[in-house]
Amino acid sequence: MGYHFAYMQPQSITDLRKSLGLSQVEFGQLFDTHSMTVSKWERGILRPSAYQIALMDQFKKTSDAKNDLAREQVKNLLVGAGVVAALVWLLSAKG
């Protein structure tokens, strides 16, 4: 399992930060590091520690789960709206 956390692509770090809606300053605060360090991670100049990568992985899993839940809720709303729209159409067609 240690190999899984050995490296995280710079773009993955940027994508994670943006998916969380955080600036480099805010993201750095999560990991007790300076925003310039975050910038260097995102450009591939420095690598986060194995511990920081493990934390990032957990943040990603949580973010992905919340995004999946949000997508499911939107889908359910759209399906529900479709049913309501169909009922309104059927009722108005009878009149």
The total number of structural domains that make up the chain: 1
Measured distance CA(61)–CA(65) in Å, rounded: 6
**In the predicted structure, residue 1 carries a pLDDT above the cut 60:** no
Q: Which residues of 33-72 are buried (b: 16+ CB within 10 A; e: fewer)?
A: beeebbebbbeeeeebeeebbbebeebbeeeeeeeeeeee
CATH number assigned to the domain comprising residue 39: 1.10.260.40
Q: What would the mean pLDDT of 24-50 be, rounded to a whole number? A: 95
DSSP state of 50: H
The reply to whether 49 falls in a domain is: yes
* Longest Cα separation, the chain: 69
Residue 43 inside a domain? The answer is yes
The pLDDT of residue 5: 44
pTM recorded for the entire structure: 0.69
The arithmetic mean of pLDDT across residues 28-46, rounded, is 95
Show the domain range for 24.
Answer: 10-67
> Between residues 6 and 18, which one has the greater pLDDT?
18
Residue 45 lies in a domain: yes
**Domain contains 83:** no
The confidence score (pLDDT) of residue 94 equals 64
